[in-house]
């Protein structure tokens, strides 16, 4: 039985009479007009591709921002369209946001206030006062669409930090629906979170959920510490829950996994092999190859990694000509100054290091900024001897897990930042790095490249076990089982109250 079947079965049985409503900023399908013709695209993203099969088997409604230029040409008067287009199984209800709202809500409050606060970069926070208003209004638009679809029997599942106050708005209209939210980025300590001027409003919004999920136990504890600072709350550490406004919100770690079997299949595909053959031919690679895959985001620690790599080639001339680092970097949030500056900095550094060490036969750093097909990415993961994940902060980091699942041949080594959420599950078998400890980082690269085969195999065996047994389907199952347990607990409590 595949993970897929387990999930479909479990979700349907756990849902019972309840209807599932998923709400996220990104949509699973987008309609785009090009040269007068409308085509459907599937925005690549781990989460949307993981939840789509669940929605297809469970039915229900997915509420998301309609970002495609032909999205509303195909919807009904409520902004809904049945998807997937080839075999419609559920409703995608699109929320219409104008350009100004998207600027203020998405590029503004979500990505210039919440993102830096949660990753502990208060200096990158933009305190433009209109952002909050746009965020609230966008959340209101989501909440109205959700409430319009919801009944008291609905199970409403909010995704991520773009929808921090929508649960409270939905709760006002649907007091008995089950609301849950998964927060995909870190939750910081109270000292860091307090820097957010709207901290009370956000905590109030999130505490309208019945269940709140984070990637790690640490983020849960941080959230409970923050909730304790909100007037009117009672934090119950024993049950990891918060009582507020007459409701109890349970706070639990649900480390997100990947579709590990799917990634393994991609890595063994013919297309992956073809991609790698061409890639080797096109680039002057060393015998050993390391890979890093990320959006160009200041939290991912790319400049610090380049500094460590330069120092490595400096101090270990024996590895010049022998070892190439491949950086897959995707342009991201380029409307924001900090992101454009980072992109320029990274590109300049790559050029400078390549000029310093490169030869006609060898490129130290291969820089790829185009979007790769999944098979291409799988080929890089499969062939790499090292994968370097040296984030300065990261909620989880799925790249670390994708690398492991794609390692179907010789065992490579994962260099993993102790500041990434993935460290909680994978830290023991990875070689740990601290992004700001350049000397330690250089030693870790050297050590990883020199590890005996038996050691590499032992580590990779442990990592594979972890990644496959805690895949994305296990992630969903655990959450749905937790809901079931909460509901059972509530029924028992209300029966015993009735008996008194
Ligand atoms: C947030 C949190 C958390 C990248 N380039 C290509 C490509 N990718 C895919 C990767 C991976 C995804 O993008 C990146 O996921 P991450 O988890 O590394 O990072 P964020 O985008 O920052 O995600 C993070 C995550 O949410 C989930 O909760 O882990 O901490 O920050 O899946 O494979 N995919 C393809 N071509 C590319 O060129 N096909």
Per-residue pLDDT reduced to its tens digit, 124-142: 999 999 999 999 999 999 9
326 CA to centre of ligand 1 in angstroms: 16
- Comparison of pLDDT for 55 and 222, the residue scoring more: 222
Q: Is 256 in the pocket of ligand 1 (CB under 6 A)?
A: yes
493 CA to centre of ligand 1 in angstroms: 41
Averaged over 31-41, what is the pLDDT?
94
> To the nearest 10°, the Cα dihedral for 472, 21, 252, 110?
90
Secondary structure class of 182 (helix, strand, coil)? strand
d(CA 54, CA 57): 5
Query: Residue 500 has what pLDDT?
Result: 61
CATH code of 348's domain: 3.40.50.2000
Averaged over 92-108, what is the pLDDT?
97
Lowest mean pLDDT among 16-20, 109-113, 410-414, 475-479: 16-20
Q: What is the DSSP string of 93-111?
A: EEEP--HHHHIIIIIIIII
HEC states along 4-72? HHHHHHHHHHHHCCCCEEEEECCCCCEEEEECCEEEEECCCCHHHHHHHHHHHHHCCEEEEECCCCCHH
d(CA 99, CA 111): 16
Averaged over 195-220, what is the pLDDT?
98
Secondary structure class of 312 (helix, strand, coil)? helix
Q: Ligand 1 pocket test: which of 119, 183, 291, 398 has the largest number of ligand atoms within 8 Å of its C-beta? A: 398
Phi, psi of 472 (to 5 degrees): -65, -30
Confidence of residue 444 (pLDDT cuts 50, 70, 90): very high
Helix crossing, 337-357 with 302-315: angle to 10°?
Answer: 10
- Give yes or no: residues 291 and 245 share one domain: no
Q: Ligand 1 pocket test: which of 25, 43, 44 has the largest number of ligand atoms within 8 Å of its C-beta? A: 44
Averaged over 178-201, what is the pLDDT?
97
- Comparison of pLDDT for 138 and 51, the residue scoring more: 138
Query: Residue 140 has what pLDDT?
Result: 98
- Give yes or no: residues 108 and 245 share one domain: yes
Percentage of the chain exceeding pLDDT 70: 96
- Supply 465's token pair: 């076990």
- Give yes or no: residues 339 and 389 share one domain: yes
Q: Is 445 in the pocket of ligand 1 (CB under 6 A)?
A: no
For the cut 60, the answer to whether the pLDDT of residue 1 exceeds it is: no
Averaged over 140-159, what is the pLDDT?
96
Phi, psi of 486 (to 5 degrees): -65, -45
For the cut 80, the answer to whether the pLDDT of residue 31 exceeds it is: yes
For the cut 90, the answer to whether the pLDDT of residue 10 exceeds it is: no
Query: Residue 42 has what pLDDT?
Result: 86
Averaged over 63-87, what is the pLDDT?
96
For the cut 60, the answer to whether the pLDDT of residue 195 exceeds it is: yes
| Contact indicator for 468, 261 with CB cutoff of 8 Å | yes
Averaged over 82-100, what is the pLDDT?
96
- Give yes or no: residues 375 and 405 share one domain: yes
Q: Ligand 1 pocket test: which of 158, 219, 293 has the largest number of ligand atoms within 8 Å of its C-beta? A: 293
For the cut 90, the answer to whether the pLDDT of residue 463 exceeds it is: yes
- Give yes or no: residues 245 and 274 share one domain: no
Q: Is 293 in the pocket of ligand 1 (CB under 6 A)?
A: yes
Atom of ligand 1 nearest to the CA of 370: 38
Query: Residue 8 has what pLDDT?
Result: 57
| Protein residue with its CA nearest to atom 33 in ligand 1 | 399
232 CA to centre of ligand 1 in angstroms: 37
Overall domain count for the chain: 2
Averaged over 469-481, what is the pLDDT?
92
| Protein residue with its CA nearest to atom 27 in ligand 1 | 184
- Give yes or no: residues 463 and 477 share one domain: no
- Give yes or no: residues 22 and 100 share one domain: yes
Q: Is 166 in the pocket of ligand 1 (CB under 6 A)?
A: no
d(CA 461, CA 455): 10
Atom of ligand 1 nearest to the CA of 389: 18
Q: Where are the beta strands (DSSP E) in 164-272?
A: 178-182, 211-214, 234-236, 241-244, 247-253
| Contact indicator for 39, 32 with CB cutoff of 8 Å | yes
- Give yes or no: residues 250 and 381 share one domain: no
- Give yes or no: residues 207 and 326 share one domain: no
Lowest mean pLDDT among 46-55, 75-84, 101-110, 373-382: 46-55
Phi, psi of 278 (to 5 degrees): -70, -40
399 CA to centre of ligand 1 in angstroms: 6
For the cut 90, the answer to whether the pLDDT of residue 490 exceeds it is: no
Q: Is 257 in the pocket of ligand 1 (CB under 6 A)?
A: no
For the cut 70, the answer to whether the pLDDT of residue 2 exceeds it is: no
Ramachandran category for residue 397: left, alpha or beta (phi over 0 → left; psi -120 to 50 → alpha): left
d(CA 249, CA 247): 7
Query: Residue 303 has what pLDDT?
Result: 98
Q: Ligand 1 pocket test: which of 181, 384, 397 has the largest number of ligand atoms within 8 Å of its C-beta? A: 397
Averaged over 129-156, what is the pLDDT?
96
Tens of pLDDT, residue by residue over 272-323, are 999 999 999 999 999 999 999 999 999 999 999 999 999 999 999 999 999 9
Secondary structure class of 249 (helix, strand, coil)? strand
For the cut 90, the answer to whether the pLDDT of residue 327 exceeds it is: yes
- Give yes or no: residues 200 and 311 share one domain: no
Query: Residue 133 has what pLDDT?
Result: 98
Is omega for the bond preceding 84 within 30 degrees of 0, making it cis?
yes
d(CA 80, CA 61): 9
Tens of pLDDT, residue by residue over 404-426, are 999 998 899 999 999 999 999 99
Mean pLDDT over each residue of the chain, to the nearest integer: 94
| Contact indicator for 208, 247 with CB cutoff of 8 Å | yes
Instruction: Catalogue the long-range contacts made by 71-77 (C-beta closer than 8 Å, 24 or more residues apart).
Output: 71/27, 71/30, 71/31, 72/96, 73/31, 73/33, 73/38, 74/31, 74/38
Burial class of residue 168 in the structure, from the number of CB atoms within 10 Å of its CB (0-12 exposed, 13-18 middle, 19+ buried): buried
- Give yes or no: residues 33 and 154 share one domain: yes
Q: Which H helix or E strand runs over 292?
A: strand 288-295
| Protein residue with its CA nearest to atom 34 in ligand 1 | 374
170 CA to centre of ligand 1 in angstroms: 29
293 CA to centre of ligand 1 in angstroms: 8
- Give yes or no: residues 250 and 297 share one domain: no
Which domain range does residue 36 map to? 3-257+473-499
Q: Is 371 in the pocket of ligand 1 (CB under 6 A)?
A: yes
Which are the contacts of 128, defined by CB distance < 8 A and separation ≥ 6?
A: 108, 112
């Amino acid at each position: 039985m595949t993970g897929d079947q387990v999930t479909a079965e479990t979700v349907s049985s756990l849902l019972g009479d309840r209807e599932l409503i998923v709400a996220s900023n990104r949509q699973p399908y987008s309609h785009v007009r090009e040269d007068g013709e409308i085509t459907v695209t599937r925005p690549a993203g781990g989460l949307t591709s993981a939840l789509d099969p669940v929605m297809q088997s469970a039915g229900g409604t997915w509420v998301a921002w309609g970002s495609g230029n032909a999205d509303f040409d195909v919807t009904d008067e409520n902004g809904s369209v049945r998807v997937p287009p080839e075999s419609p199984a559920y409703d995608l209800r699109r929320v219409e946001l104008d350009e100004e709202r998207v600027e203020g809500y998405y590029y503004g409050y979500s990505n210039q206030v919440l993102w830096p606060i949660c990753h502990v970069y208060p200096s990158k926070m933009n305190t433009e006062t209109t952002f909050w208003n746009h965020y609230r209004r966008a959340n209101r638009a989501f909440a109205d669409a959700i409430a319009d679809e919801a009944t008291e029997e609905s199970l409403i599942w909010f995704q991520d930090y773009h929808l921090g106050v929508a649960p409270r708005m939905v709760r006002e209209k649907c007091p008995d629906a089950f609301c849950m939210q998964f927060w995909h980025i870190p939750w910081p300590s109270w000292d860091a979170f307090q820097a957010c001027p709207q901290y009370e409003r956000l905590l109030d919004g999130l505490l309208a959920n019945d269940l709140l999920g984070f990637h790690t136990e640490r983020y849960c504890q941080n959230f409970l510490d923050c909730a304790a600072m909100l007037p009117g709350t009672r934090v119950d550490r024993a049950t990891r829950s918060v009582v507020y406004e007459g409701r109890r919100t349970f706070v639990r770690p649900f480390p997100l996994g990947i579709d590990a079997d799917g990634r393994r299949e991609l890595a063994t595909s013919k297309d992956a092999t073809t991609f790698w053959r061409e890639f080797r031919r096109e680039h002057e690679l060393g015998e050993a190859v390391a890979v890093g895959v990320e959006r160009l985001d200041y939290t991912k620690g790319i400049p610090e990694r380049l500094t460590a790599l330069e120092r490595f080639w400096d101090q270990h001339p024996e590895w010049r000509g022998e070892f190439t680092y491949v950086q897959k970097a995707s342009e991201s949030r380029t409307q924001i100054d900090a992101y454009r500056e980072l992109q320029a900095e990274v590109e300049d550094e790559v050029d400078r290091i390549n000029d310093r060490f490169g030869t006609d036969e060898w490129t130290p750093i291969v820089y790829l900024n185009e979007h790769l097909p999944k098979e291409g990415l799988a080929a890089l993961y499969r062939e790499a001897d090292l994968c370097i994940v040296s984030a300065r902060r990261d909620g989880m980091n799925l790249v670390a897990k994708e690398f492991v699942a794609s390692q179907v041949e010789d065992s490579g080594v994962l260099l993993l930042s102790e500041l990434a959420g993935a460290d909680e599950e994978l830290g023991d078998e990875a070689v740990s790095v601290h992004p700001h400890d350049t000397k330690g980082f250089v030693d870790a690269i050297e050590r990883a490249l020199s590890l005996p085969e038996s050691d590499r195999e032992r580590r990779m065996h442990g990592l594979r076990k972890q990644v496959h047994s805690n895949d994305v389907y296990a992630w969903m199952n655990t959450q749905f089982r937790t809901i079931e347990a909460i509901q059972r607990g509530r029924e028992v409590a209300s029966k015993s109250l009735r008996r008194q």
